[in-house]
């Protein structure tokens, strides 16, 4: 196999990922996919955006290529570069080019974390052209109908320096995600951990308390992901208070006063 070539079969999601719909997001994504429109997922950390993409890849039976964006992500990291292998120089596709070639779903997670000069490389793929020019080789990749582009970001962390440019966001159909309703979140926590309905309900109430502290000392409240982590610790024999401290409080903040306040909240429930 040539360097950088990954078989599409290796990127398929073969087992159905557990996902509880919050609204009509599955229907909207499927419609956007059929119409070859890229999708923007908006929502707080740990609310299910990545799981949703895994679920959609399974439903659509397409390979999934996920990229976690960060400050040092370059255009070459996405598109590809020349590398020396076994004494020869060979072109190696980046994840974006790989997804285009195999007709997969390319998911750029937390897109605003990437450099501004990096995000512009997706523009030709995110409009009617649906092409990816590879400047270093002179090749132009034409996206097949099966290819889809999806990006995500957390509006709660918007700033002047880290906001999604209008020239980017207006190319996408936007789906808004939030933490599930209390009943739905309880069902998710129980399903993912096996902790039981009673403890799952208490964890969800605890999460609501921490989310009420957002803007009053906390940047974010407890996510559904953190609740599942705490629940799994409890199932493994860790006491509820210790599980909430390690999986939730310490994950949310380092501020001593805020930690003490969160500990008091968990102790009031457990």
Do 137 and 28 share a domain, yes or no? yes
Do 97 and 154 share a domain, yes or no? yes
pLDDT tops 70 at residue 168: yes
In a domain, 2, yes or no: no
Do 238 and 157 share a domain, yes or no? no
Alpha carbon of 67 to those of 63, 242, 258: distances in Å? Answer: 13, 33, 33
Check: CB of residue 100 under 8 Å from CB of residue 121: no
In a domain, 52, yes or no: yes
Q: What is the pLDDT of residue 174?
A: 97
117 or 95, which is more confident: 95
pTM, two decimal places: 0.91
Q: What is the pLDDT of residue 160?
A: 46
Which of 176, 192, 215 is the C-terminal boundary of a domain?
176
Q: How far apart are CA 109 and CA 91, in angstroms?
A: 25
Do 263 and 134 share a domain, yes or no? no
DSSP per-residue letters across the chain: --TT---GGGG---SPPP----SSHHHHHHHHHHTT--EEEE--TTSSHHHHHHHHHHHHT--EEEEE--TT--HHHHHEEEEEETTEEEEEE-HHHHHHHHT-EEEEETGGGS-HHHHGGGGGGSSTT-EEEETTTTEEEEPPTT-EEEEEE-GGG--SSS---HHHHTTSEEEE--PPPHHHHHHHHHHHH---HHHHHHHHHHHHHHHTTBTTTBSS---HHHHHHHHHHHHTT--HHHHHIIIIIHHH---HHHHHHHHHHHHHH-
Do 209 and 127 share a domain, yes or no? no
Do 12 and 140 share a domain, yes or no? yes
In a domain, 13, yes or no: yes
Which of 115, 147, 176 is the C-terminal boundary of a domain?
176
204 or 84, which is more confident: 204
Range of the domain at 232: 182-269
Q: Give residue-wise pLDDT tens across range 223-253.
A: 999 999 999 999 999 999 999 999 999 999 9
Number of domains in the chain: 2
Do 70 and 186 share a domain, yes or no? no
Do 171 and 37 share a domain, yes or no? yes
Residue partners of 70: CB distance under 8 A and separation at least 6? 110, 113, 114
Which of 176, 208, 227 is the C-terminal boundary of a domain?
176
Do 13 and 96 share a domain, yes or no? yes
**CATH number for 114:** 3.40.50.300
Q: What is the pLDDT of residue 1?
A: 46
Do 108 and 201 share a domain, yes or no? no
In a domain, 149, yes or no: yes
Do 56 and 109 share a domain, yes or no? yes
In a domain, 255, yes or no: yes
In a domain, 44, yes or no: yes
Residue 103 falls in which region: left (phi positive, over 0), alpha (psi -120 to 50) or beta: left
Lowest mean pLDDT among 93-102, 114-123, 257-266: 114-123
DSSP β-bridge partners for residue 214: 218
Do 98 and 23 share a domain, yes or no? yes
In a domain, 239, yes or no: yes
In a domain, 3, yes or no: no
Q: How far apart are CA 261 and CA 191, in angstroms?
A: 29
């Amino acid at each position: 196999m040539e360097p950088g070539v990954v078989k599409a079969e290796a990127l398929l999601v073969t087992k159905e990922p557990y996902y509880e719909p919050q609204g009509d997001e599955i229907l909207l994504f499927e419609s956007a996919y059929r119409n070859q429109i890229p999708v923007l997922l908006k929502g707080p950390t740990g609310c299910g955006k990545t799981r949703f993409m895994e679920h959609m890849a399974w439903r659509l039976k397409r390979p999934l290529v996920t990229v976690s964006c960060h400050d040092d992500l370059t255009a070459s990291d996405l598109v590809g570069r020349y590398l020396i292998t076994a004494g020869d120089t060979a072109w190696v596709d980046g994840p974006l080019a790989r997804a285009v070639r195999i007709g997969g779903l390319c998911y750029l997670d937390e897109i605003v974390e990437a450099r501004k000069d990096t995000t512009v490389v997706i523009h030709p793929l995110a409009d009617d052209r649906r092409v990816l020019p590879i400047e270093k080789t002179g090749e132009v990749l034409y996206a097949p109908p099966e290819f889809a582009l999806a990006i995500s970001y957390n509006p709660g962390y918007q700033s002047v320096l880290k906001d999604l440019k209008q020239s980017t966001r207006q190319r996408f159909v936007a789906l808004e995600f939030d933490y599930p309703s209390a009943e739905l979140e309880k069902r998710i926590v129980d399903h993912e951990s096996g902790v039981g309905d009673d403890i799952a309900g208490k964890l969800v109430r605890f999460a609501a308390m921490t989310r009420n502290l957002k803007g009053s000392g906390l940047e974010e409240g407890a996510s559904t992901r953190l609740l599942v982590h705490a629940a799994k610790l409890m199932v493994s024999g860790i006491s509820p208070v210790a599980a909430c401290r390690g999986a939730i409080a310490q994950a949310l903040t380092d501020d001593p006063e805020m930690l003490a306040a969160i500990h008091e909240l968990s102790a009031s429930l457990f």
